[in-house]
Structure 1
Amino acid sequence: MRDDEIKGTGALLVNAAGQYLLHLRDDIPGICDPGAWSLIGGNREPGEGLEETIQRELWEEAELVVPALKRFTVVGSTGPDGVVKGFVQVFRGRWDGDVAGLPLSEGIMLHWFEPEIVPRLRMSQWAQEAIRRDRACAPV
């Protein structure tokens, strides 16, 4: 898939303990996946590359800088009807920080979750799929 076909980005951040950093989104009308756990991320601005987008979103939402992000996978973002409405480039990286020290400017909270807990959460479909793919690659 070409970069210009992808409008969204997400950061799949994993710590040394193998936990995933998830972002609880605001529960307000008009936003994607309201009230659901998701990855930090967002849509591109005109003329912006995918790497620039994810770094900007991490900074805007939590003043977080993760320089060693790598492209991991592209997932489809679906609407309530199950139809794909766009594509999200998921970047993967490691971050071992304390989420309590981050100044969250969007959403309700950030939290580290054990992989076994993720399927029990109310999550955005695309973020859950990205974690499923990551788990499939993880050593047993």
Structure 2
Amino acid sequence: MTGTAPSPQRTTPGTGTSALITNSQGEYLLHLRDNIEGICWPGYWAPIGGRPEPGEPLADAIARELKEETGLTIPLTAFTTVHQDNAEHLGKGTIAVYTGHWDGDAHALPLTEGVMLHWFPVSVLPRLRVPPWCREAIRIHQAA
């Protein structure tokens, strides 16, 4: 997997979108996905994200997904693009990753999809089921 940091003005090509949300402690807000057949990465911890509607710009898609799934409306910045290619977990294509910052109680958010939201420090990520594309996005983010 590789990632490149696009300029914020450029529309990042992608088949999916994701929001790496951090807090003032440097933790990442991750979403425990439902463990059901027919979705990408069931039972994994991943950032909030999804796919754009036909004709929907990626920046609008991630803002919509974040609002729909968590109720959050925060500024997001285009950050990088990562590739996922894992047919076993229905994940294939590119993910346009956006970043944002929020200090709040993850468990108080009105989650509409998945099992739960939780803040995690980077040191805990190796012990979690996290998709490889997500690990790559966080690695790039940590290096930036």
Aligned length: 135
- 2:108 pairs, out of 101, 107, 113, with 101
Unaligned ranges ≥5, structure 2 = 1-5
Q: 1:4 and 1:20 mapped to 2: Cα distance?
A: 22
Decide whether the 8 Å contact of 1:62 with 1:102 is kept in 2. Answer: yes
Pick aligned residue for 1:11 from 16, 19, 24: 19
Q: What secondary structure does 2:130 align onto? A: coil
Work out the CA distance in 1 between the residues paired with 2:140 and 2:12: 23
**One-letter amino acid of the structure 1 residue matched with residue 64 of structure 2:** R
Q: What amino acid maps onto 1:119 in structure 2?
A: P
- Equivalent of 2:43 in 23, 35, 60: 35
Q: Distance in 2 between matches of 1:91 and 1:42?
A: 12
Percent identical pairs in the alignment equals: 51
Query: TM-score, with normalisation over the residues of structure 2?
Result: 0.87
Q: What is the aligned partner in structure 1 of residue 3 from structure 2?
A: none
Q: Pick from 116, 125, 128 the counterpart of residue 135 of structure 2.
A: 128
Once the two structures are overlaid, the 10-residue window that deviates more, 103-112 or 93-102, is: 93-102
Does structure 1 retain, via aligned residues, the 8 Å contact 2:15–2:52?
yes
Q: Compute the TM-score of the two structures, normalised by the length of structure 1.
A: 0.89
Aligned equivalent of 2:33: 25
Which ranges in structure 1 are unaligned for 5 or more consecutive residues?
none
Pairing partner for 2:69 from 51, 61, 74: 61
1:11–1:118 distance in 2 versus 1, CA, 3 Å: same
Write the deviation string for residues 6-50 of structure 1: whole angstroms up to 9, x where unpaired: 110000000001001000000000100000000100001001001
d(CA) in 1 for partners of 2:136, 2:129: 13
Correspondence for 2:120 among 106, 113, 118: 113
1:85, CA displacement in angstroms? 2.2
Distance 1:122 1:44 in 2: 25
Deviation beyond 6 Å, 4+ runs, structure 1:
none
